[in-house]
Amino acid sequence: MATITLPEAEVQNSKSTATKYVYSFGGGHADGNGKMKDVLGGKGAGLAEMTNAGLPVPPGFTIQTEACREYMRGSLSKAVDQQMNDALAQFEALQGQKLGAGENPLLVSVRSGAKFSMPGMMDTILNLGLNDKSVEALAKRSNNPRFAADSYRRLIQMFGNVVLDVEKSAFDEVFEAKKRQKKAKLDTDLDAKALEEVIAEYKKVVKKHAHRDFPQDPREQLVMARDAVFRSWQNDRAKHYRRINNIDDMLGTAVNVQAMVFGNLGETSGTGVGFTRNPATGTKEFYGEFLMNAQGEDVVAGIRTPVHISELEKIMPDVYNQLRDITTRLEKHYRDMQDFEFTIQEGKLYMLQTRNGKRTGLAAVRVAIQMVEEGLISKEEAIFRVEPNQLYDFLVPRLDEKKTKIEVLATGLPASPGAAVGQIVFTADEAVVKAGHGAKKNPVILVRAETTPEDIQGMEVAAGILTSRGGMTSHAAVVTRGMGKCCVAGAGDISVDEKKREMRVKGQTFREGDWISLDGTTGRVIKGQLDTIPPKADDPELLKLMGWAEPFRTMKVRANADIPRDAIQARAFGAEGIGLCRTEHMFFGEKKIGHMRAMILADNEKDRRAALKKLLPLQREDFAGVFKAMDGLPVTIRTLDPPLHEFLPRREELMVDIALLSSYSAKQKKDLLANYKDYGVKAAGDLKRILPGLLARVEQLHEFNPMLGHRGCRLGITYPEITEMQARAIFEAAVDCSKKGIKVFPEVMIPLTATLKEMANQAAIVRRVADEVFKEKGIKVDYLVGTMIELPRAALVADEIAREAEFFSFGTNDLTQTTFGFSRDDVNKVLPTYLAEGILKQDPFAALDQEGVGQLVKIATERGRKTRPTLKVGICGEHGGEPSSVEFCYKVGLNYVSCSPFRVLTARLAAAQAAASDKLKVEGGRTK
Ligand code: ADP
Ligand code: MG
Ligand code: MG
């Protein structure tokens, strides 16, 4: 840190006079430019850049983000007002108009715009400057009283809602009532007189809810609107969006004040939005929607159905060609796909926004490749045009959109990716009935206003879920993402009538049994029964992009897989080994659990060994399967980790059964036999004899805090014969496979060590058994013995542990748990508050806590390698597939990351990007 030599007060003064808070744009010149997103926000930077490029942009000025930060600190400096007044004066001179005054009043929009676009998070105010007087002037000047009244009522509505916090519905009720009264179908059917009545009632709404009048002074309107935009940075929606997208809370938003252009001036005016390429598929086509005689949000609000952009070519060919021309230039200029907004005022085109467009993973990959082929970007840049998490889109089924012309009914939130096609049902029970079983299986889409935990069963059987309410973290969204099931949430244009069993959208009614298709990747709800394309990671374009990225990658990517099927899957996605093969899952198999239970119940070593002997061949078979699947690649197998009581019946259930045994009917007793057959119960009469003994053993094993209890290497140390058996199974399998020509590289991993002696104890067993097996079979295989680092103590004494351990693998789930002292099963009681309060920025179980847990990873790696320079180090927690954590692992020099099979692609790209940005010295130039 540099030393501060000026007294605090002086620093502040000199800063506020020197800071340029307001940047003008207009008349072919802008103070700022497109690179200044930090200062001007994305929107302001885009407006400046377009102005400088000579494009038709309505003029105005941008109040920079520093003003917002000052506002948040409660210290907005006077210079902001001064500079704003100066800019406004200059702006008025340029326009030859006065804000909200005179015969030709200047009207403006007040628009928020942060560095990263936060769609729908903050609201814009249009037509600012209108009041009871200027609305008259506008009517006269435009010779269109209806237009003037429509603009004014919109201002009161937006200002009332955004600035004065009046509920939207209060205005909607007035408007809808007026439409009903006048028998108007569309908003545009209301005439000037009707709109004037609406205005009068809107003013009453403001007075009633905000306890003040709608401000008539245009300057007051402007200052209030500006401050409301600053405040909106802190609203819950905005905070939430920043959290899930990992955007810094301290950035603040800029405010853009811009001359209004009117799309609602009649049939030669209109407004629209578009993309230079298709953001869902990446196809190179002009893509967008517009509405004639409409303003701002009408296109997205869904009150009227917008028209495909291609129609504009027929209505106004010149404007269409100009728009194409401009947007093509913008794309070339920014060297990325653009998302733009435009307005046509009486046949003249204006550009209102341009930015790098958000896109699906599919589109991201395609657009990147196309742009390389078009010579727009280099292959190195292309690597960064795809967010690693987006590759998940390639691993879920997709809609086949090539064959038919599709009709999008509504667009909701892309809550859980993939595609689902099915018949509508409206309740969870119907879903269960209609979905059927086996050969009679029938895909259904569960359509609800929102889901609750009671819907779980229906959600499980449904092919996809559609809700009309709720956000990205609604019940439907969260549950489906966990299930890996397609979900579109919060499709507000759809009204779901659960009583009538109807869904209405776009003037159409859908009933139970009607077919719809969902695209959870883009949030689209599509009419009818589309085909789906199954997931595959062999998409030629994906392979091409990975082919550019992969040469940069230096860190290996492995997968966590317990069974051959998962191992094969992981390998298909490019896994270069197994980083974690958990053996406990193997014991739960039909044939094995009985022997496992017998082993646990044995009260002496001899009986335990007898049970373990029966498990040995079964384990050997499991390991052989995994070795075979990973022929030529390393496989890390972890010795038994969970506490033994997990394999036995629950204590409470046993107590209940014992207490009620005498009152159970013969039938109930018979049912119990199956539950207890592994414990030697053959006939009903055995229950009374055996259950109390079983309970006694369960009591013995009972722990108050099993996660910190008798588990991990502590098991193998207290019951060495378990480790012995597992080591024997591993090496016998390895030797057998090797004899068959399969290349095996077993790595035996001891869990939960904290001390050198624990490691030495278990390593000695493994090495002894290896030697025995090699001697018996007359052949040797290369292997390693290492440990999982999941306790802070292990990280701190890693130099000691590395004397015995030939590799480390960070079990960051447990390491996070033990470092924070958070139980990962209970943390959700605390986490929502912690996130909302900003105490934690992210869930540390999802993204590695680099400051704390990450330090332990770093320390352990350094200390371990000091003792053993060749130490292989990896990570096998959930974090191994999370891009920011992967980048961290690269930075601290890990040899590999290991993650679940479906995240292997993501980890590969994240690891390649980390290395590439290091090598190319570029700051990850990703699209945010
Ligand atoms: P968002 O970030 O939510 O898109 P915007 O500030 O871009 O908000 O504006 C919302 C809508 O209002 C957009 O359709 C935009 O084109 C329109 N709009 C904004 N400013 C003006 C203006 N000066 N003249 C006409 N329309 C405008
Ligand atoms: Mg916009
Ligand atoms: Mg663990």
569-618 confidence digits (pLDDT tens): 899 999 999 999 998 877 877 678 888 888 888 888 999 999 999 999 99
pLDDT of residue 591: 77
Residues tagged active-site? 475, 876
pLDDT of residue 245: 75
Q: Tell me the residue ranges of DSSP E strands in 730-843.
A: 745-750, 784-789, 807-810
Predicted confidence (pLDDT) per residue in 805-833, tens digit: 999 999 999 999 999 999 877 888 898 88
Q: Rounded to 10 degrees, what is the CA torsion of 230, 233, 237, 242?
A: 170
**DSSP assignment, residue 144?**
-
pLDDT of residue 7: 38
**DSSP assignment, residue 750?**
E
- Ligand found nearest the CA of 123: 1
pLDDT of residue 300: 55
**Ranges in the chain, pLDDT < 50:** 1-16, 302, 924-928
pLDDT of residue 923: 54
pLDDT of residue 925: 44
Tell me the CA–centroid distance for residue 643 and ligand 3, in Å.
11
The verdict on the CB of residue 819 being under 6 Å from ligand 1 is no
Integer-rounded Cα radius of gyration of the chain: 33
pLDDT of residue 8: 40
State which H helix or E strand residue 314 sits in. helix 310-315
What pairing do the DSSP bridges indicate for beta strands 556-560 and 578-582? Answer: parallel
Taking the mean position of all CA atoms in its chain, how far away is CA 331? 27
pLDDT of residue 732: 98
pLDDT of residue 602: 87
* Helix, strand or coil, per DSSP, at residue 424: strand
Query: Which residue minimizes the CA distance to atom 27 of ligand 1?
Result: 296
DSSP sequence for 635-670: EEEEPP-S-GGGGS--HHHHHHHHHHGGG--HHHHH
pLDDT of residue 825: 77
Query: Which residue minimizes the CA distance to atom 14 of ligand 1?
Result: 296
**DSSP assignment, residue 70?**
H
The verdict on the CB of residue 110 being under 6 Å from ligand 1 is no
- Ligand found nearest the CA of 118: 1
Query: Which residue minimizes the CA distance to atom 15 of ligand 1?
Result: 296
Contact in structure between 38 and 247 (CB atoms under 8 Å): no
What pairing do the DSSP bridges indicate for beta strands 634-638 and 745-750? Answer: parallel
pLDDT of residue 482: 63
pLDDT of residue 675: 82
Q: Is pTM beyond 0.85 here? A: no
Tell me the CA–centroid distance for residue 110 and ligand 2, in Å.
12
Tell me the CA–centroid distance for residue 341 and ligand 2, in Å.
6
**DSSP assignment, residue 903?**
G
The verdict on the CB of residue 297 being under 6 Å from ligand 1 is yes
